Amino acid sequence: MLNTLRDITQSVASAHTLELALESLVIQTKSAMETDCCSVYILEQQLLVLSATDGLEKSAVGRVRMPMSEGLVGLVAEREEAINLADAHLHPRFKLFPEANEDEYRAFLAAPIIYQKQLLGVIVVQQAKARQFNEGEEAFLMTLAAQLAMAIRGLKRRAEVHSVDSQVLFHGTCASSGVAIAHALVIGGEISLSQPEVTGTDIDAEAQRLRQAIGRSQDALLALAQRFEGDQDEELSSIFLALQTLLDDESLGGDYLREVRLGWSAESAVSRVSLRYVAQFEAMDDAYLRERASDIRDLGQRVLRQLIEPGRMNLDPDKPVILVTREADTSMLAEFPRQKLAGIVTELGGVNAHAAILARALGVPAMIGVEQVLQAELDKKLLILNAGRGLLMVSPSPSVVDEYRNLLSAQKAMARQYAEELKEPALTLDGHRIHLYLNAGLMSGVATDIAEGADGIGLYRTEIPFMLQQRFPSESEQIKVYQSVLQSAEGKPVVMRTLDVGGDKPLPYFPISEENPFLGWRGIRLSLDHPELFLVQLRAMMQAAGDSDKLKILLPMVSSIDEIDEALLYLDQAFNELKADVNPALKRPPIGVMLEVPALLFQLDEVAKRVDFVSVGSNDLTQYLLAVDRNNPRVSGLFDSFHPGILRALRRALKECSDYQLEVSVCGELAGEPMGALLLVAMGYTQLSMNQASLAKINYLLRRVERRELEQLLDLVLQMSNGQDARELVREFLSSRELASILG
Ligand code: PEP
Ligand code: MG
C-alpha cells in the first residue's frame, strides 16, 4: 500500500501540468483501489469543476461545475470531511449530472484535498455495485488526498501564473517591507559537487568552456578580494586572493583541465577532481590541512556554477537587480554588493531567518515563501516587488511602473523625513528617554555611519566574520575585526555577542548535521564544548577594547545557570591571563546573557546574581515559547511576537529585571518594528536595539507619542486573546495619531 501511495504521489508531483497530473492520478487510483471510477474536482472561483476522470464521460471534463452548496461533491467540500455512502442515489444531496453519465454508479467515497487549511478540490471513487467502501479503502483515499495536496497546489499555482500573461502575479510573505522595481536575477539552488559522470564529445570545446568558467570564477574572486580590501578587511581580501590563485593552471585549474583531456565533460571533470581532493584532505591528520577540504569544495562549486549557470553573478555595474532564489543564506547576501541589490524574492525561508534579518538591516525589500517562482522563467524580466503587500508583478505595464515609481519616491521622501531627526534623542512627548542602539554584524565590514543617531551598538553578531572565512579566524584576525567595530562606535558602548553559530548559521568549515538544529548545538553550548575557540574569542574581544570601558560581552542561547558559571570562569581565565601577560590596564567588561530560552525567564533571580545585564532575543524567545521554527515558511503564519503569551512574557521579564535591578534591553526584531517598539516602551523597556534601517523610523515615532498613552494602549492589548487583534489595536492607535504611514 505504501509503495502504491508513493508511486501515485511521485507521478503527480513530477507531472509538468495540472491536467497531466490529474489524468495520471485518476487512472492510477482507480486501478489501485480496484474500483470502477475515479474523478477529481478542482475548486476554481468557488466552483467545483470536474477536472479529470476515469469512468465518467470524458467530454464532461471542464463542463460539470457546481457550487459547494450542490451535490455530494459539494457537501464534501463544504464539510471538509470524507463521505462514504453505500448508495449515493439515496442521499438527499445526490444530484445527477446527465452529461457525466454517472447514473450507473451507486457506491460513493470522496475525500477533500486540503493544503494548509485551503480547500483545493475533491477526489471521488465510485462503484456500480452498492456497497460501503471499507475502512482501509477510506483511509487510503484520505492519505492520498493529503499527500497530493502540496503537489496539486503547486501545479495549480503554476497554471494560474502562466494563464495570465499580461500581469503575472506571485504572492508571498513579507520579510522586509518596501518597493523595488528592477530586472530579475534568478540564481538556482545549491549546486552539488557530485555531478553525473559524462564524457565530452569535443575535447577542445569542453576545455574552452572550462577555461571560460575558471576565468569568470577567478574574476569574481578577485573582485571580492578588491572589495574587502576597500573595506580595510585585509584578512578576507587575502583569503579570496589565495583562492583565486588556487584556480591557476599550476594548481587545481590544471587538474580540472587534465581530466577534460582524459575525455570527461567540463562538469564531470570539476566534480571528479573536487571529490577526490576533498576525500584526501578530509582524511588527513593535520587539522589545518583537513580544513583545506572546504576550499576545494568552495572552488569546485564556484566553477560548476559558472558552467551550469554561466554569467549569473556577473552583474551589470549600473543596474541593481531583484534577486530571485530558492533560499538566500546570510553569506550569499553579505557577499552581494549592496548597491546592486534592489530586492530579494525566495521560495523558502522564514520571516525571522537570519537572511531576512539581514535584508531588513540592509533596508532591502524581501519576500519569502513565493511558490513556483523559480520555474516561472523570470530571469532578466522587469519585476515590481511590493514586499509589504506580499506581491510580485512580472513584466508590468508602463502605467503600473509609473504608479510604483511615484510610490517609491513618496517612500524615499518619508525616509528623508525620519532621517532628519536622527540626531535628536528618542524622547517621548512626556519626557521619557529611550536609548536606541544598533544591531550590527550581519554585514561584512561595519557600516561607516554606525554611530549616527544610535546610542551605541546593542548587539554585534560575531558570526558573519566567522562565516566568511575558510577556517576559524585567529586571535589577531579577530582582534582587528573587533577593533574596527569599537572604532566605528566612536566611544559609545558596544555589546559584542560571542559566537552563535548553529541553527541557520552554519560555518562552511565546521559542518554540524542535526535533526533539529535550532534545538541543538548552538551558541554558548558550542562555545563551552570548545573552550579553545571560546577563550580565543574572549581574549580577542578584551584586547580589542584594551583599557576602554565601552565593551560589554553577551552570551547567546543560555539555558542554564551552570552555563553562565562556566562561561564566567573562562572569562576570568582569559582576563587574568591578559592582564598579567599583555595589558595590566585591561578592563574587565560587564557580562550579560541573551534572554531567549524560556526557562531562563523563571530564573532571573539567579541570573541577576551572576551577570550585569540581559538582552531579550525576541526572535528566539518567540520561536521557543511558541514552538514555531523561525525558518519554516509552512508555519511562518504562527510566528507571532504579538501573541498574548509572548507579550505577557516580555512584560514579566521587564518586571523581574527591575525587581532584581538587572539592566535589560531588547535586541530581537520586535524592537525595530514600529508597533513592537511602542508596546515595549509601554511595558517600561528603555533600551531597544535594532537594525540601521529601523533606527530613524523608531526614533521619529517615539518622539511623537506619550508613554502614558502607550501604557493605556498596552492594558487594552493585553486583554486580547490573539496576536491579530493585538496588532489591530496598535494599528488603530497609530491611525488615530496620524502615524499609520510609518507601517509602510
Ligand atoms: C534573537 O534571537 O532575538 C536575537 C537577537 O538573536 P539572533 O536573531 O541572532 O538569533
Ligand atoms: Mg537568538
Nearest-atom index, ligand 1, CA of 620: 2
CB within 8 Å of 90: residues ≥ 6 apart? none
Atom of ligand 1 nearest to the CA of 352: 8
Please list, in sequence order, all residues whose beta carbon lies within 8 angstroms of the beta carbon of residue 88, skipping any fewer than 6 positions away.
72, 94, 105, 106, 107, 108, 126
What are the two backbone dihedrals, phi and then psi, of residue 730, each rounded to the nearest 5 degrees?
Answer: -70, -40
Q: Which residues of 162-194 are buried (b: 16+ CB within 10 A; e: fewer)?
A: eeeeeebebebbbbbbbbbbbbbbbbeeebebe
CATH number of 426-743: 3.20.20.60
Start-to-end CA span in the chain (Å): 52
Q: Where in the chain is the domain with CATH 3.20.20.60?
A: 426-743
Look up cell 474523478; give the residue. Answer: 39
667 has catalytic annotation: yes
Looking from the CA of 7 toward its CB, the CA atoms found within 13 Å total 11
Q: Which residue has the cell 454508479?
A: 105
Q: Give start-end residues of each CATH 3.50.30.10 domain in the chain.
A: 168-189+314-411
For the CA of 668, the closest atom of ligand 1 is 3
- The correct answer on CATH 3.50.30.10 for the domain covering 168-189+314-411 is yes
User: In Å, how far from its chain's centre is CA 383?
Assistant: 21
The atom number, within ligand 1, closest to the CA of 618 reads 3
> Which alpha helices (H) appear in 373-517, and where do they start and end?
398-420, 463-467, 475-488
Cβ contact 147:4 at 8 Å = no
Residue 736: per-residue pLDDT? 95
Q: Which residues line ligand 1 (CB under 6 A)?
A: 357, 459, 461, 500, 596, 617-620, 667-668
- Distance (Å, rounded) from C-alpha 32 to C-alpha 432? 71
Joined grid coordinates for residue 168: 503575472
Write out the residue limits of the CATH 3.30.450.40 domain(s) in the chain. Answer: 2-161
Instruction: Determine the pLDDT at residue 501.
Output: 87
Q: 239 CA distance to ligand 1 centroid (A)?
A: 29
State the pairing for strand pair 457-461/435-440: parallel
633 and 349 Cβ atoms separated by less than 8 Å: yes
Q: What is the CA radius of gyration of the chain?
A: 29
Residues of the chain within CATH 1.10.274.10 domain(s) are: 203-308
For 188-335, strand residue ranges (E) read 321-325
Nearest to 588 by CA among 608, 559, 611: 611
Give pLDDT, residue 163.
46
CA 386 – CA 235 distance, rounded (Å) = 38
Helix (H, G, I), strand (E, B) or coil at 664: strand
Active site residue 38: no
DSSP code at position 368? E
Give residue 164's pLDDT.
Answer: 43
For the chain, 744 residues long, the average pLDDT of each consecutive 10-residue run is 76 77 90 94 93 92 92 95 94 89 91 91 96 93 88 76 59 88 80 82 91 89 77 72 89 94 93 91 76 81 83 63 83 74 88 80 87 81 90 89 86 88 94 95 56 87 80 91 90 96 80 86 95 96 96 98 98 97 95 98 98 97 95 85 96 97 97 97 98 91 98 97 96 94 83
**Residue bearing the CA closest to ligand 1, atom 8:** 619
Ligand nearest to the CA of 495: 1
φ, ψ for residue 631, nearest 5 deg: -105, -5
For ligand 1, atom 1, the nearest C-alpha belongs to 617
Question: Ligand 1 test: best mutation among 358, 437, 500, most atoms within 8 Å of CB?
Answer: 500
Residue type, 700: Y
CA 494/CA 290 separation, integer angstroms: 35
CATH topology of domain 203-308: Enzyme I; Chain A, domain 2 (1.10.274)
Q: What's the CATH superfamily of 2-161?
A: GAF domain (3.30.450.40)
What separation in Å is there between the alpha carbon of 625 and the centre of ligand 2? Answer: 13
Segment (H or E) for 577: helix 561-581
